[in-house]
């Protein structure tokens, strides 16, 4: 903490502790807390407490006052917890008896402050901050704070309840008994019950004050919550469990699971709160060794009577890395069945699959836990897995002991099993029929149909394998057709009875969006290419439908691009594109909805790039669109087609010139920023494919630089500077290697370095260094512009004398207006613009201008020639500022030089020494000004601007001064001082 803050803090504390004062800004206290949090990060607030004893006084005053403002009390509670996070701070606050008073919830209830949720939140956060050492844990225990905390778990405020749950989870994991070895079976599942767990329970019950009592209290509460009739209590209990279980270690973990298994089973039977329940089961499964009974419960959830619940559970379970292997097939069946029923595409081998499911599950269960019952049996009976397990064990024992009558028993058992099998088959068929009928009901009801199919289709990409992917793609395609009003294939038996579902889906954009997202993901699955034509047809069909929602069309385009990108031979689709796609795209470019026009143009640009075709006339037409977003997209699409139009020699130079003219008109006249930004970006792309040296290029670039650097939109200006950067690299190639790359920015400004790296990667015309540069090892796919498009006239002649090249380059930059554009940027009020310009000017100066520090004697003739290059600054906004800086610089240089050569040296001599200088200096002598006839030397200006200093200022956030802790403290004090004057009303931004 700096000394100024240290001086102000006691005053601020005094003001905050005064109940008559109120804070005008609701963010001040939170920001203050942020600051303290930062300060206490390293030493848990030790230094803060030592240097600012006023903080403890402040907390004491606020917490003893029952009339304090709720937000102030909340802040004090959070702060006290933060300070008590260290044992030293804790002891200090305990010595002053502050903690007991501050965290006495009853006291705040009596004072009427507890009603305010901010106080309750402060109370929880304070305790949470504090829980870093055992003393704090014991304080919570002894003060009996667990009880109010448990009550807050079902607080009416979501924020309070959630914070309480997090703290409870933390308390449960805080004081875990030592980890012991855990008996785990080969299949990863554990064998219940565990002796250690039982012992642990006994220890927790009988060890008050050891921290176990808190754990016990929370666990009992958790158990009763899960058995409660209150929806909120159950939900919060489940949330706590989901938070805690992944963090718990054996044997506590096992103990917790054993306690909650019964209530969880009850909840599964009730068939409600499916999502929260499944979250708990999955959290448990994923977090470590798992009780087999949990897997049984998960299986039961998947057999839920409510197809929507079952689908949600299945979707949650689907994650390939964490889905219990035995459930995978069941999960897939639950998810794909609705899709199969509606589309009629066979995705599952069922109704036989039901049987297969059972067998699979049965086998899996056998393999894992020696259970003899199937999932279906478990589901139908809703019995505890443990009971069944014991029952089966008994049977097995019986079989093993009765050796003499083995054959007879075998026969009996066989008969029993046959009977049982028949019963089970009948049960299964009945269950299957009822389940089908339920699913059908759901599918015939529009909202549940839409929701089910969305879950089903969204999960589809994650359940495909080599065999099924083609069918899944077909099913999604069929569903899209149904949404477009086509009936499902008439020969499919599965779709019978779903006619209402099909009607419900016509024009349903929610399902369409899901299908298209899914289809895009399915493009990469094995065997997808075989379905390419069908997919393409349905996507074109979507485009042809005039009623398609704009969001659907956008996703349609995205899916189309994904499929095009995976096509082994995009050219094979050319006919399809030219015959089917382009005509409909032409229509969509004229759609009444701008969203559709824009998405179409965006797509067109990407399509042209992917398939190497050009659609320039359509794009040119769109330049006159009334919507600025659309105009911008048309320009961006044109930029994407640039390399292609050059390659194919179209649309011809004349049209190209017209296009350039049109774009310049947009840059100078369009009232919206988006098209203007796009124009400058177009020229960036253009410069990458065209030489800047041609006359048309030069004039266009001059116009872009002049218009762009004085634009009203900050991003147009930044893009203009990106163009400047490219021009600099192109014009001063040798120096990019030798100077630009070698010298890091003196103040460590990240801007310059990053810019350089970025440009090297993206600009294919940067001169290749003599040694292969790692920067150039990128693959062509990393850049949008093919590397083969180098223009022969554009390469810098290697035999040119470096200095001549620099002089020419600098003169050329001046000619193009680069220096003016950079200075426009430097003096811009938008910080990102000024920073970028400053970085570029620094690079230009370091690359081109001879260093003054070398001293006059060290300067070569060539350096002097470079130093002579001038530019015109007449009429510029910054003319006065630059002139002033030049004068200041000259003044200081003169003083410096005078000191170097001796103070008694007459002025005359100084002048005579400079006669070998530039014309402007001669001019200076005659006029006494730094600038002659409106022109100034580039290098001299660059050295005079104090660029390093500027860069260091600009590199900081624009609000770093106003957002500093000192500024915050001042604001708090000032707000109090002026509280008597007219209050500023917080209304809207």
Partner 1 sequence: MPEIKVTPLGAGQDVGRSCILVSIGGKNIMLDCGMHMGFNDDRRFPDFSYITQQGRLTEFLDCVIISHFHLDHCGALPYMSEMVGYDGPIYMTHPTKAICPILLEDFRKITVDKKGETNFFTSQMIKDCMKKVVPLNLHQTVQVDDELEIKAYYAGHVLGAAMVQIKVGSESVVYTGDYNMTPDRHLGAAWIDKCRPDILISESTYATTIRDSKRCRERDFLKKVHETVERGGKVLIPVFALGRAQELCILLETFWERMNMKAPIYFSTGLTEKANHYYKLFITWTNQKIRKTFVQRNMFEFKHIKAFDRSYADNPGPMVVFATPGMLHAGQSLQIFKKWAGNEKNMIIMPGYCVQGTIGHKILNGQKKLEMENRQTLEVKLQVEYMSFSAHADAKGIMQLIRMAEPRNMLLVHGEAKKMEFLKDKIEQEFTINCFMPANGETTTVITNPSVPVDISLNLLKREMALGGPLPDPKKPRTMHGTLIMKDNSLRLVSPEQALKELGLNEHQLRFTCRVQYRKTEFTIFIVFSSSYLVKAWLVLKGYTIQHLPDGTVMVESIVIKVSSSAEEPNTKVLLLSWSYQDEDLGSFLSTLLKKGLPSGLSSM
Q: Of the candidates 919, 696, 950, 935, which has an alpha carbon nearest to the alpha carbon of residue 841?
A: 950
Q: Which secondary structure element, helix H or strand E, spans residue 686, and what is its range? A: helix 673-689
Number of residues in contact with partner 1, rule: CB under 8 A? 72
Shortest distance, position 273 Cβ to partner 1, whole Å: 13
Q: Is 384 near partner 1 (CB under 8 A)?
A: no
Q: State both tokens at 617.
A: 């006339």
Burial class (CB in 10 A: 0-12, 13-18, 19+), 902: exposed
Q: State both tokens at 388.
A: 């069944």
Of the pair 110, 877, the CB lying nearest partner 1 is at 877
Residue 7 to residues 13, 29, 49, 127, Cα–Cα distance (Å): 11, 19, 15, 29
In this chain, which stretch among 179-187, 258-266, 450-458, 932-940 interacts with partner 1, using CB under 8 A? 450-458
Shortest distance, position 430 Cβ to partner 1, whole Å: 25
In this chain, which stretch among 78-86, 646-654, 902-910, 960-968 interacts with partner 1, using CB under 8 A? 960-968
Which of the 8 DSSP states describes residue 184?
A: B
Residue with tokens 């047809």: 537
Q: Is 229 near partner 1 (CB under 8 A)?
A: no
Largest CA distance in the chain: 131
Residues 962 and 970: their CA atoms lie apart, in Å, by 10
Shortest distance, position 159 Cβ to partner 1, whole Å: 4
Q: Which secondary structure element, helix H or strand E, spans residue 239, and what is its range? A: helix 231-244
Among positions 569-598, residues that touch partner 1 (CB under 8 A) are 595, 598
In this chain, which stretch among 110-118, 408-416, 466-474, 693-701 interacts with partner 1, using CB under 8 A? 110-118
Q: Is 3 near partner 1 (CB under 8 A)?
A: no
Q: Which secondary structure element, helix H or strand E, spans residue 291, and what is its range? A: strand 290-291
CA 585 to chain centre: 32
Tell which one of 18, 25, 739, 893 touches partner 1 (CB under 8 A).
25
Contact 240, 273 (CB under 8 A): no
Of the pair 25, 739, the CB lying nearest partner 1 is at 25
Contact 273, 418 (CB under 8 A): no
Q: Is 609 near partner 1 (CB under 8 A)?
A: no
Residue 630 half-sphere exposure toward CB, CA atoms < 13 A: 22
Q: Of the candidates 927, 898, 928, which has an alpha carbon nearest to the alpha carbon of residue 910?
A: 898
Residues 513 and 523: their CA atoms lie apart, in Å, by 16
Among positions 790-849, residues that touch partner 1 (CB under 8 A) are 829-832
Residues 963 and 955: their CA atoms lie apart, in Å, by 15
Among positions 153-212, residues that touch partner 1 (CB under 8 A) are 156-160, 162
Q: Is 480 near partner 1 (CB under 8 A)?
A: no
Q: Is 26 near partner 1 (CB under 8 A)?
A: yes
Contact 258, 192 (CB under 8 A): yes
Q: Is 974 near partner 1 (CB under 8 A)?
A: yes
The SS3 of residue 1 is coil
Contact 708, 680 (CB under 8 A): yes
Q: Is 246 near partner 1 (CB under 8 A)?
A: no
Of the pair 168, 869, the CB lying nearest partner 1 is at 168
Q: Is 437 near partner 1 (CB under 8 A)?
A: no
Phi then psi for residue 69, to 5 deg, are: -70, 135
Residues 339 and 519: their CA atoms lie apart, in Å, by 14
Tell which one of 18, 116, 862, 893 touches partner 1 (CB under 8 A).
116
Q: Is 527 near partner 1 (CB under 8 A)?
A: no
Shortest distance, position 533 Cβ to partner 1, whole Å: 28
Q: Is 981 near partner 1 (CB under 8 A)?
A: yes
Q: Is 624 near partner 1 (CB under 8 A)?
A: no
Of the pair 156, 857, the CB lying nearest partner 1 is at 156
Shortest distance, position 516 Cβ to partner 1, whole Å: 11
Q: Is 948 near partner 1 (CB under 8 A)?
A: no
Tell which one of 244, 378, 554, 839 touches partner 1 (CB under 8 A).
554
Tell which one of 184, 329, 647, 967 touches partner 1 (CB under 8 A).
967
Of the pair 904, 982, the CB lying nearest partner 1 is at 982
Q: Which secondary structure element, helix H or strand E, spans residue 937, and what is its range? A: strand 935-937
Q: Is 507 near partner 1 (CB under 8 A)?
A: no
In this chain, which stretch among 80-88, 131-139, 763-771, 959-967 interacts with partner 1, using CB under 8 A? 959-967
Among positions 668-727, residues that touch partner 1 (CB under 8 A) are 671-674, 677, 712-715
Q: Does residue 351 have a cis bond before it (omega within 30 degrees)? A: yes
Of the pair 93, 339, the CB lying nearest partner 1 is at 339
Q: Is 117 near partner 1 (CB under 8 A)?
A: yes
Residue with tokens 């240097």: 51
Among positions 868-897, residues that touch partner 1 (CB under 8 A) are 877
Binding characters for partner 1, 270-289, by CB under 8 A (x = yes) = ---------x----------
Of the pair 609, 672, the CB lying nearest partner 1 is at 672
Contact 628, 675 (CB under 8 A): yes
Q: Is 123 near partner 1 (CB under 8 A)?
A: no
Among positions 289-328, residues that touch partner 1 (CB under 8 A) are none
In this chain, which stretch among 152-160, 462-470, 690-698, 804-812 interacts with partner 1, using CB under 8 A? 152-160
Contact 249, 176 (CB under 8 A): yes
Among positions 652-671, residues that touch partner 1 (CB under 8 A) are 671
In this chain, which stretch among 385-393, 608-616, 735-743, 972-980 interacts with partner 1, using CB under 8 A? 972-980
Angle between helices 406-444 and 328-343 (to 10 degrees): 40
Shortest distance, position 25 Cβ to partner 1, whole Å: 4
Q: Is 615 near partner 1 (CB under 8 A)?
A: no
Q: Is 777 left (phi over 0), alpha (psi -120 to 50) or beta?
A: alpha
870-872/189-190 β-pairing: unpaired
Q: Which long-range contacts (CB under 8 A, 24 or more apart) does 201-204 make?
A: 201/255, 203/177, 204/255
Residues 67 and 108: their CA atoms lie apart, in Å, by 10
Shortest distance, position 334 Cβ to partner 1, whole Å: 17
Residue with tokens 């001059």: 702
Tell which one of 92, 150, 454, 707 touches partner 1 (CB under 8 A).
454
Of the pair 491, 987, the CB lying nearest partner 1 is at 987
Tell which one of 27, 142, 429, 571 touches partner 1 (CB under 8 A).
27
CA 679 to chain centre: 29
Of the pair 283, 847, the CB lying nearest partner 1 is at 283
Tell which one of 214, 267, 680, 968 touches partner 1 (CB under 8 A).
968
Q: State both tokens at 224.
A: 């009763």
In this chain, which stretch among 45-53, 521-529, 923-931, 969-977 interacts with partner 1, using CB under 8 A? 969-977
Shortest distance, position 618 Cβ to partner 1, whole Å: 20
Angle between helices 274-286 and 307-317 (to 10 degrees): 20
Alpha helices in 345-468 (DSSP H): 352-369, 375-381, 385-401, 406-444, 446-459
Q: Of the candidates 453, 433, 462, 208, which has an alpha carbon nearest to the alpha carbon of residue 337?
A: 453
Tell which one of 9, 15, 28, 600 touches partner 1 (CB under 8 A).
28
Q: Is 215 near partner 1 (CB under 8 A)?
A: no
Binding characters for partner 1, 897-936, by CB under 8 A (x = yes) = ----------------------------------------
Contact 476, 457 (CB under 8 A): yes
Of the pair 158, 903, the CB lying nearest partner 1 is at 158
CA 155 to chain centre: 31
Q: Is 426 near partner 1 (CB under 8 A)?
A: no
Phi then psi for residue 208, to 5 deg, are: -65, 145
Q: Is 988 near partner 1 (CB under 8 A)?
A: yes
Q: Is 33 near partner 1 (CB under 8 A)?
A: no
């Amino acid at each position: 903490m700096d000394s100024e803050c240290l001086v102000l803090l006691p005053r601020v504390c005094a003001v905050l502790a005064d109940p008559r004062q109120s804070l005008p800004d609701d963010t001040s206290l939170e920001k203050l807390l942020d600051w303290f949090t930062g300060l206490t990060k390293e030493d848990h607030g030790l230094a803060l407490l030592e240097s600012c004893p006023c903080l403890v006084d402040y907390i004491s005053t606020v917490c003893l006052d029952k009339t304090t403002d709720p937000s102030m009390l909340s802040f004090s509670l959070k702060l006290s917890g933060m300070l008590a996070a260290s044992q030293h701070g804790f002891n200090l606050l305990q010595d002053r008896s502050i903690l007991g008073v501050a965290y006495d919830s009853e006291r705040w209830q009596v004072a009427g402050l507890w009603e305010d949720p901010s106080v309750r939140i402060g109370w929880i956060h304070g305790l949470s901050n504090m829980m870093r050492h055992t003393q704090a844990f014991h304080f919570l225990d002894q003060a009996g704070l667990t009880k109010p905390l448990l009550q807050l778990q079902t607080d009416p405020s979501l924020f309070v309840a959630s914070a309480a749950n997090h703290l409870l989870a933390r308390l449960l994991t805080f004081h875990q008994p030592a980890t012991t070895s855990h008996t785990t079976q080969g299949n990863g599942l554990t064998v219940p019950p565990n002796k250690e767990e039982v012992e642990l329970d006994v220890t927790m019950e009988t060890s008050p004050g050891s921290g176990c009592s808190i754990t016990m209290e929370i666990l009992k509460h958790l158990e009763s919550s899960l058995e409660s009739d209150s929806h909120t209590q159950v939900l919060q209990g489940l949330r706590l469990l989901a938070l805690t279980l992944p963090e718990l270690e054996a044997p506590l973990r096992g103990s917790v699971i054993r306690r909650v298994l019964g209530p969880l089973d009850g909840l599964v039977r009730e068939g409600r709160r499916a999502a929260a329940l499944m979250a708990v089961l999955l959290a448990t499964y994923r977090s470590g060794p798992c009780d087999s009974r949990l897997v049984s419960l998960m299986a039961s959830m998947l057999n839920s009577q409510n197809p929507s619940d079952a689908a949600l559970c299945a979707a949650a379970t689907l994650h390939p890395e964490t889905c219990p292997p035995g459930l995978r097939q069941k999960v897939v069946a639950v998810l794909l069945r609705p899709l199969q029923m509606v589309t009629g595409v066979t995705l599952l081998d069922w109704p036989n699959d039901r049987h297969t499911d059972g067998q699979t599950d049965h086998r899996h269960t056998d393999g894992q836990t020696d259970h003899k019952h199937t999932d279906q049996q478990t589901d139908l009976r809703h019995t505890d897995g443990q009971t069944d397990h014991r029952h089966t064990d008994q049977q097995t024992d019986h079989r093993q002991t009765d050796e003499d009558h083995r054959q007879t028993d075998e026969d009996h058992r066989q008969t029993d099993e046959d009977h049982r099998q028949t019963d089970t088959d009948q049960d299964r068929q009945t269950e299957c029929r009822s389940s089908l009928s339920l699913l059908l009901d759901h599918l015939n009801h529009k909202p549940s149909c839409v929701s089910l199919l969305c879950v089903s289709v969204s999960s589809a990409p994650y359940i495909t394998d080599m065999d099924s992917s083609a069918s899944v793609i077909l099913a999604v395609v069929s569903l899209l057709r149904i949404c477009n009003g086509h009936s499902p294939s008439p020969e499919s038996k599965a779709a019978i009875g779903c006619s209402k579902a099909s009607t419900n889906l016509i024009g349903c954009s929610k399902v369409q969006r899901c299908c298209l997202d899914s289809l895009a993901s399915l493009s990469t699955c094995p065997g997808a290419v075989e379905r390419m034509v069908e997919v393409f047809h349905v996507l074109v069909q979507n485009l042809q439908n005039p009623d398609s929602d704009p969001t659907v069309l956008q996703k349609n385009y995205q899916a189309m691009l994904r499929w095009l990108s995976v096509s082994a031979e995009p050219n094979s689709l050319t006919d399809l594109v030219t015959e089917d796609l382009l005509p409909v795209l032409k229509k969509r470019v004229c759609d009444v909805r701008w969203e559709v026009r824009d998405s179409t143009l965006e797509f067109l640009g990407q399509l042209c790039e992917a398939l190497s075709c050009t659609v320039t006339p359509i794009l040119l037409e769109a330049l006159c669109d009334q919507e600025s977003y659309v105009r911008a997209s048309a320009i961006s699409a044109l930029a994407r087609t640039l390399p292609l139009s050059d390659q194919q020699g179209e649309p011809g130079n004349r049209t190209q010139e017209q296009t350039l003219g049109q774009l310049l008109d947009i840059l100078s006249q369009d009232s919206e920023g988006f098209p203007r930004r796009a124009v400058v970006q177009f020229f960036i792309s253009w410069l990458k494919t065209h030489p800047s040296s041609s006359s048309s290029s030069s004039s266009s670039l001059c116009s872009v630089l002049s218009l762009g650097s004085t634009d009203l939109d900050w991003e147009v200006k930044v893009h203009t500077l990106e163009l400047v950067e490219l021009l600099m690299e192109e014009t001063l190639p040798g120096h990019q290697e030798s100077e630009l790359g070698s010298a890091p920015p003196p103040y460590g400004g990240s801007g310059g370095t990053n810019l350089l790296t970025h440009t090297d990667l993206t600009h294919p015309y940067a001169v290749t260094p003599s040694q292969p540069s790692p920067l150039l090892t990128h693959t062509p796919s990393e850049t949008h512009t093919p590397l083969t498009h180098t223009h022969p006239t554009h390469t810098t002649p290697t035999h040119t004398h470096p200095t001549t090249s620099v002089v020419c380059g600098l003169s050329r930059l001046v000619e193009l207006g680069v220096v003016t554009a950079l200075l426009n940027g430097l003096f811009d009020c938008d910080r990102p613009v000024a920073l970028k310009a400053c970085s570029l000017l620094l690079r230009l100066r370091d690359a081109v201008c001879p260093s003054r520090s070398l001293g006059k004697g060290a300067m070569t003739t060539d350096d002097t020639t470079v130093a002579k290059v001038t530019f015109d600054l007449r009429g510029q906004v910054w003319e006065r500022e630059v002139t002033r800086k030049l004068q200041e610089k000259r003044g200081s240089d003169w003083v410096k030089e005078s000191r170097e050569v001796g103070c008694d040296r007459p002025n005359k001599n100084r002048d005579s020494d400079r006669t070998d200088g530039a014309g402007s200096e001669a001019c200076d002598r005659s006029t006494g000004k730094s600038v002659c006839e409106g022109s100034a030397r580039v290098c001299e200006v660059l050295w005079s601007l104090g660029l390093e200093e500027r860069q260091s200022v600009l590199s900081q956030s624009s609000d770093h001064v106003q957002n500093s802790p000192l500024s915050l403290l001042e604001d708090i004090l000032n707000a109090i001082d002026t509280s008597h004057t007219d209050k500023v009303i917080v209304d809207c931004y």
